[in-house]
Amino acid sequence: MSYKEEFVKFMVRSGVLLFGDFTTKSGRKTPYFVNTGNYKTGAQAAKLGEYYARNIQEHIEGKIDALFGPAYKGIPLAVAAGISMYNLFDRDINYCFNRKEAKDHGEGGSMVGYKLQDGDRVLIVEDVITAGTAIRETLPVLKAAADIEIAGMVISVDRMEKGKGEKTAIQEVYEEFGIVTYPIVTVREIIDILHNNPVDGKVYIDDEMKARMEAYMEQYCVR
């Protein structure tokens, strides 16, 4: 079983990949939802970090000076990924994250953890990208910290949804900022992995759910 298949089943078992009737932040009615806020145990965090680390090891070449986790969901992801990069691949990588509001006492500033230096190569670690809003908020924070190079961005799931126009948010982020995004899995891979394939005896994507997901993708996604 590939780490992608393992990851999809891990999300289902963790109550993170959900199927039913949901409304996204943008108001779209969707039959599936990815809620990374449902990860809540040390075991889940450890396993999640391994999937991110395998994705990073597979796609990101060259030295990475720091993993950056955008507040708030990106913070534990960057830490977990950093731990797993060391445990699995003997790569000790700095990590840092931002505060939502800059601190005006103590050491001050909006960044926590590793202090970014000019010339650093930084990898952004995020959960899910839908409209690309988070990355547009994140880049000014990073650029204000130091003159860095963005090595790319890793996320858990690419919903393959249109951003502001007719392209996916990932495509728009690349065209606008030159940042390549590497998802652990896409929604298309989720369908392929789970369609009529039970997890612990339960089928989550049967023919009916697959048809609903395909209809949603036809309306909102880029194939």
Structure-token pair, residue 143: 């650029």
CA distance 44 to 80: 10
Alpha helices in the chain (DSSP H): 3-13, 42-59, 74-89, 133-145, 169-177, 187-194, 207-220
- Cβ atoms of 69 and 77 closer than 8 Å: yes
Choosing from 25, 100, 105, 202, the catalytic residue is: 105
Which residues, in sequence order, are CB contacts of 46 under 8 Å at separation 6+?
80, 83, 84
- Antiparallel, parallel or unpaired: β 149-158 and 94-103: unpaired
Kindly calculate the radius of gyration of the chain based on its CA atoms and give it in whole angstroms: 18
Tell me, yes or no, if 103 is annotated catalytic.
Answer: yes
Active-site choice (63, 103, 143, 164):
103
The identity of residue 58, as a single letter, is E
- Token reading at 95: 């990590």
Question: Does 59 qualify as catalytic in the annotation?
Answer: no
CA-to-CA distance for 48 and 3, rounded, in angstroms? Answer: 11
Catalytic residue numbers?
A: 103, 105
